[in-house]
Amino acid sequence: MARIDLKDLTIRFGGFTAVDNVNLTVNDGEFAVYLGPSGCGKTTTLRAIAGLEQATSGDILFDGKRVNDLKPSERNIAMVFQFVSLYPNLSIAENIIFPLKARGMAKAEIARKLDWVTGVFKLGDELKRRPAALPPGARQKVALARAVIRDPAVLLLDEPLSAIDEQFREEMRWELGHLQRELGVTTIYVTHDQREAMSLADRIVLMNHSKIVQVAEPDRIFFQPSSVFAGQFIGSPSMNLIDLVPVAGGLRLGDSPVVLSQSELPPGITARGAVKLGIRPRDLRLVSGEGHALAVEDTFSVGRERFFTFTVSDQILQGTDHRTQPGAGSVTLVPEGMMFFDAETGLRITEAAA
């Protein structure tokens, strides 16, 4: 078990900054999920924590001790990589006990641990087989088993489920979350899949362009995104974004007739520069003919979910509504769902700041 601190961590490859001045604390036993688009520096950060990448500047601390100069093997971490990397010439059992062999652990102890871990991952029948004989999902289970068998202080998982079929992935995700709580091992999990992050994380570390954008619990990051990027990256379908146009008495939604009056806006917001409204599809409602409301253009269903679209300033916006009302043709906004962003910086305008 360990607490991890990243202090002003920067990693450069030649002229390219892959990790830019990152500060983060991951608490003992926490399940932190690094989330962000491909290429934003998630893997590089994880590899630096493992000791496989050198920090250009800044510190990495385990339980308050600087580990920058420790070799990977001295950090007591276990890592699972995105692409399955089992040893094809070793059996499943030999693959799993691979980390224990290095430390010259007694045979009986190894057998006991192997027993435990194969029980956890239900791999009992596969032990004598070779990795090539297993489907990808089972192979990644073996990789996870190999990671946890050594009781690491920190578990580093780099998109471990991305190579697995959708259906099996759900199941693995659930098992993984369960196992992590049971072991209580500090875990950093990297993914670009926001749904995976939302379902696994104690806290989400949202990254973009080599920088941390926001660190928050899944609920909070969903309801209180700190920026347009956070708002749009998390949630599906994605958050709608509408330019607000200052008019007498308030702000108008783009080229639509809808005007948000002063009483519906955070205080002081009209005095600022350009502002955008963010609203999630779930915070849009279909109602029957209210004079000035936005007109629905299209409705469709995907499974049991109903979607509708409408247009503001030539942008097609999307809403979801579960309560079907026959004849409903207009869209209204749920006031609690409205979020305001500075059009320049993309940062959220909270009431306190506004």
Partner 1 sequence: MSASNTGSARITRWVLFGLLVLYTIYNLGPILWLVISSLKSRADLFAMPPKLVFTPDFSGYQSVFGIGAAKDSAASIGVFRSLITSVLVSTIGTSVAVMLGTLAGYVCSRFDFRGKGDFMFFVLSTRMLPPVAVLVFYHMMFAQLGLADTRIGLILIAVFINVGLATWIMKGFFDGVPREVEQIAIVNGYSRMYAFRKLVLPMVKGGIAATAGFCFIFSWNEYAFASILTTTKAQTLPVKISTASGATGIEWTQICAAGVVLIVPVLIFFWLIRKHLLMGMTFGVLGRK
Report how far residue 56's alpha carbon sits from residue 258's, in angstroms, rounded to the nearest whole number: 51
Considering only residues 42 through 71, tell me which ones interact with ligand ADP, judged by CB under 6 A.
42-44
Among 19, 40, 55, 79, interactor with partner 1 by CB under 8 A: 79
Binding marks (x or -) toward ligand ADP, 186..215, rule CB under 6 A? ------------------------------
Considering only residues 27 through 46, tell me which ones interact with Mg ion, judged by CB under 5 A.
43
In the complex with partner 1, which residue's Cβ is closer, 96 or 198? 96
How distant, in Å, are the alpha carbons of 231, 235, 251, 281 from that of 224? 8, 12, 22, 15
Here the tokens at position 29 are 């036993």
Here the tokens at position 37 are 């688009």
Report how far residue 249's alpha carbon sits from residue 270's, in angstroms, rounded to the nearest whole number: 10
**13 part of the interface to ligand ADP, by CB under 6 A:** yes
Which residue, 297, 325, 321, is CA-closest to 311?
Answer: 297
Among 55, 77, 142, 153, interactor with partner 1 by CB under 8 A: 77
Which residue, 221, 215, 211, 155, is CA-closest to 188?
Answer: 155
23 within 8 A of 9, measured Cβ to Cβ: yes
Report how far residue 91's alpha carbon sits from residue 314's, in angstroms, rounded to the nearest whole number: 59
In the complex with ligand ADP, which residue's Cβ is closer, 53 or 94? 53
Report how far residue 78's alpha carbon sits from residue 145's, in angstroms, rounded to the nearest whole number: 10
Report how far residue 239's alpha carbon sits from residue 324's, in angstroms, rounded to the nearest whole number: 21
In the complex with partner 1, which residue's Cβ is closer, 52 or 127? 52
**96 part of the interface to ligand ADP, by CB under 6 A:** no
Report how far residue 161's alpha carbon sits from residue 166's, in angstroms, rounded to the nearest whole number: 9
The single-letter DSSP state of residue 130 is -
Binding marks (x or -) toward ligand ADP, 136..155, rule CB under 6 A? --------------------
Among 1, 52, 183, 338, interactor with partner 1 by CB under 8 A: 52
**150 part of the interface to partner 1, by CB under 8 A:** yes
Considering only residues 81 through 100, tell me which ones interact with partner 1, judged by CB under 8 A.
81, 83, 85, 87-89, 98-99
- Residue 41 binds: one of Mg ion, ligand ADP, partner 1, none (C-beta under 5 to 8 A by kind): ligand ADP
**133 part of the interface to partner 1, by CB under 8 A:** no
Interface stretch with partner 1, choices 1-9, 57-65, 68-76, 208-216 (CB under 8 A)? 68-76
**41 part of the interface to ligand ADP, by CB under 6 A:** yes
**72 part of the interface to partner 1, by CB under 8 A:** yes
Report how far residue 308's alpha carbon sits from residue 297's, in angstroms, rounded to the nearest whole number: 7
- Sequence-separated (6 or more) residues with CB below 8 Å from residue 321: 284, 285, 286, 306, 308
CB of 52 to partner 1, least distance (A): 6
In the complex with partner 1, which residue's Cβ is closer, 78 or 242? 78
Ramachandran assignment for 194, one of left (phi > 0), alpha (psi -120 to 50 degrees), beta (any other): alpha
CB of 158 to ligand ADP, least distance (A): 7
- Residue 174 binds: one of Mg ion, partner 1, ligand ADP, none (C-beta under 5 to 8 A by kind): none
Helices (H), the chain: 42-50, 92-96, 98-102, 107-121, 136-148, 166-183, 194-200, 218-223, 228-233
- Residue 83 binds: one of partner 1, ligand ADP, Mg ion, none (C-beta under 5 to 8 A by kind): partner 1
Binding-site ranges for Mg ion (CB under 5 A): 43
The residue ranges that bind partner 1 (CB under 8 A) are 50-52, 71-73, 77-79, 81, 83, 85, 87-89, 98-99, 102-103, 146, 150
